[in-house]
Amino acid sequence: MQVFDITPEHERDYHVCLKHYWDDAASCIDRREEWYERAKGQGLRVKLARDDDGAVAGQIQYIPIERSFVDGQGLYFVLCIWVHGYKEGIGDRRGKGIGAALLEAAEEDARALGATGMAAWGLKSEEWMNVPWFERHGYKMADAVGDKALVWKPFKEGARPPRWIKERKRPMGIQGKVVITVLNSGWCVSENVLRNTARMVAAEHRGDVVFQEVDTSDRRTMLEWGNSDALYIDGERVDGGEPPTHGELEELVARKVQALRRWGIGVTKRK
């Protein structure tokens, strides 16, 4: 196994999260590329892991926490660490120490860059970005909201733990319309896919549904909302857990449209 800094020849691997068979990721690769080019100038670091057979099987991306979607100072923040775990493509590569090697390499790099510690977000009940996994590697809990937690590992005395930024704003509704609002920063492939899905569903109900997008790649805009990536329908967040599929989102929006029709609140009638 070899951990190495990303090179141009492997950028596409990174932009589709190593899942070349995922057509949805390929369809929104431009959004990821746009964010990546900007984030490189803001201190983004990316490392990949090559398995013994030469396949690129894991990746980690981390950035100065001041450029992230959480509150902190002097730390580097792990946006995502990922080891390919599906049967498709190169197959399941978990359980071989790839994730641990990536995290160790990132920590070593962050120390060399003068960081006071390393932080990451995690999920308490999911295998991916799993809080107990980070804890086994010396991280401790810093903050939590529901199933989502912030963990960190200080390198120096006086390091300050990270904190979640609280939601500060929600989108407004529009009378007689179903309003889909997407906050999107561009860093996460899954969120970029969800953005495209929401836009497609809105287009399927053109006239009845208004689609709004807020670009939160600018930190000031992110802070204004208190969120970097989110999906709202009529001001209610609908992506708190697993992001909805196209079918799930279509069904939810269709129910909203039908409800407005029952009340006769100015929804466009289909011919």
pLDDT one-digit tens code per residue, 96-122: 999 999 999 999 999 999 999 999 999
Q: Is residue 271 part of a domain?
A: no
How high is the pLDDT of residue 271?
39
pLDDT one-digit tens code per residue, 157-191: 999 999 999 999 999 989 889 999 999 999 999 99
Q: Is residue 270 part of a domain?
A: no
Task: Say yes or no: 109 and 222 in one domain.
Answer: no
Percent of the chain having pLDDT more than 90?
Answer: 84
How high is the pLDDT of residue 120?
98
- Please name the residue ranges forming H helices in 93-130: 98-112
Which domain covers residue 68, as residue numbers? 2-154
Task: Say yes or no: 22 and 141 in one domain.
Answer: yes
How high is the pLDDT of residue 265?
57
Contacts with 105 (C-beta within 8 Å, 6 or more apart), sequence order: 3, 47, 60
- Which segments of the chain have a pLDDT < 50? 267, 269-271
How high is the pLDDT of residue 264?
67
How high is the pLDDT of residue 50?
97
Q: Is residue 48 part of a domain?
A: yes
How high is the pLDDT of residue 241?
65
How many domains does the structure of the chain reveal? 2
Task: Say yes or no: 240 and 111 in one domain.
Answer: no
Domain-ending residue, one of 138, 154, 170: 154
Q: Torsions phi, psi of 259, nearest 5?
A: -65, -40
Task: Say yes or no: 187 and 150 in one domain.
Answer: no
Residue 74 sits in a domain whose CATH number is 3.40.630.30
Q: Is residue 173 part of a domain?
A: no
How high is the pLDDT of residue 124?
84
Domain-ending residue, one of 122, 154, 186: 154
Domain-ending residue, one of 107, 122, 154: 154
Orientation angle between helical segments 189-204 and 246-263, nearest 10 degrees: 40
Q: Is residue 42 part of a domain?
A: yes
